Amino acid sequence: MPVARLVLTDFRSYPSAAIHARPGLVVLTGENGAGKTNILEAVSLLAPGRGLRQAALGEMARSDGPGGFAVAARIDDGSEIGTGTLAASPERRQVRINGAASSANALAEHLSILWLTPAMDRLFVEGAGGRRRFLDRLVLALEPSHATHSARYEAAMRARNRLLGEEGGADPAWLSAVEAAMAEHGAAIAEARERTVAALAARIAAEPDSVFARAALALDGWRPMGEDALARELRSGRVRDAAAGRTLAGPHRSDLLVRHAGKDQPAARCSTGEQKALLLGTVLAHADLAAERAGRAPILLLDEVAAHLDPDRRAALLARLARREGQVWMTGTEPALFAGAEQATWLRVVDGMVEG
C-alpha cells in the first residue's frame, strides 16, 4: 500500500517536512549529507522494528530540537499511521493508527517495507544476526503475525535468562511457564522462516534469466523441530544455559545461508558487486512473491543502489521496478542515475529541506 503523504516533525535533520508521493518510483536526489537517507529511515519506521539504521529511538530526534520526534503518513487506502517519541520518554516508542494508540507490531497489518542500504553490503560476511533480521523482514511481508511471535519470544527468552541467573535457582514452575511461551512462539518463528525460505527459493529458481545474480537460499544452525521438542530442549539445557548466561537453543540461533547459484559459491566468497547483485535479486524476487501471496506489494527502500550498478544493470533495474506494483523510494546524488524514470515522483533534498 503506497505512502501518499509523509510528514516529519523534529526527525533527524528535519524540523518539519511534508512529502507527497505517488505509487511507483519516488526518486530523492541531493548531495551527500543532505538528508536523503533520513527520509528512507522515516518510512522504514512505519513498520515494526527499529528501522533501516537499527538506531536507538533517542538518536532519531533532531539534535537541536525540543526532544521527541514524529513520523506520520497517510497511505493510499486512507489510513493514517504514525510513530514517534515524547520528550519526557525519548526511548519509548508511541504508535497511533487512525487516531488510536496502538502497538508497533500492528503496523504490519497496514504496510510491509523492505530495504537495501550501503551498510548491508557486508551482510554475507558479518555475523548471523544481520542475516536473521533480513530474513525476518522478508517473513514479515508474507506473514504479519511474525512480528508478534518475535516480540513475545524475545520477551520470554529475556525472562528465562534472568530466571536462570537467579541465586539459589529459579522457581521450576515459573521457569517451565516461560519456556512454554518460548516454545510456542519459537516454533511459530522457525516454521514461518522455513516457509518463506522455501517459497522464495522456488520463486528465484523459476525466474527467467536476469542481469542480477541468482541466489540459492537455505537455513542453517538451529532448525525447526516443533513446539514440544523445543520445550524439551530448553528444559534439558537449563544447567548449560545458566553456565553460559544465555539461551543456546531456539530460532535466535539460526542463520540464513546464501550461495551464488550460477557459480555454486557461498555469497561470502563473492565479490562486493556480486553480493550486491545477490541481495538485489533476492529482494526483487521477494517483492514479487509478496505481491502474489499476500495480495500487496511491499514498499521498497533502495538507498544509493543505482550508484553501484553499471549502466546496463541500472537500466534493467529501473525497467523492472517500473513494471511492478507498489512503491519504491530510491536515493542518489545525481538525477542522471535514474534516467528513464520519467513517471517517477522527483524530489530534491537540500540541507534538510525537500523540494518537489
pLDDT for 1: 72
User: Does residue 191 or residue 315 have the better pLDDT?
Assistant: 191
pLDDT digits (tens, 9 = 90+) for 206-218: 887 677 789 999 9
pLDDT digits (tens, 9 = 90+) for 53-65: 999 999 999 988 8
pLDDT digits (tens, 9 = 90+) for 224-241: 788 999 999 999 999 999
Rounded to an integer, the average pLDDT of 152-179 is 92
Rounded to an integer, the average pLDDT of 198-203 is 94
Rounded to an integer, the average pLDDT of 289-317 is 85
Q: Which of 280, 326, 285 minimizes the C-alpha distance to 303?
A: 280
**Alpha carbon of 238 to those of 145, 160, 171: distances in Å?**
29, 9, 12
User: Does residue 207 or residue 69 have the better pLDDT?
Assistant: 69
pLDDT for 187: 96
Give alpha helix (H) positions in the chain.
36-44, 128-142, 146-164, 172-206, 227-236, 238-244, 272-293, 311-323
Rounded to an integer, the average pLDDT of 126-150 is 93
Name the pTM for this structure. 0.87
CA-CA-CA-CA torsion for 268, 270, 272, 278, nearest 10 degrees? -90
pLDDT for 234: 96
pLDDT for 189: 97
pLDDT for 209: 66
pLDDT for 154: 97
Q: Is pLDDT above 80 for 6? A: yes
Rounded to an integer, the average pLDDT of 132-146 is 92
In the chain, the N- to C-terminal Cα span, in Å, equals: 21
DSSP, res 78: S
User: Does residue 185 or residue 281 have the better pLDDT?
Assistant: 185
Dist CA 177 CA 193 (whole Å) = 24
How confident is residue 247, by pLDDT bands cut at 50, 70 and 90? very high
Domains of the chain: 1-112+297-356 (3.40.50.300), 122-295 (1.20.1050.90)
- pLDDT above 90 covers a percentage of the chain that reads 65
User: Does residue 352 or residue 69 have the better pLDDT?
Assistant: 69
Give residue 259's Cα distance to chain centre.
21
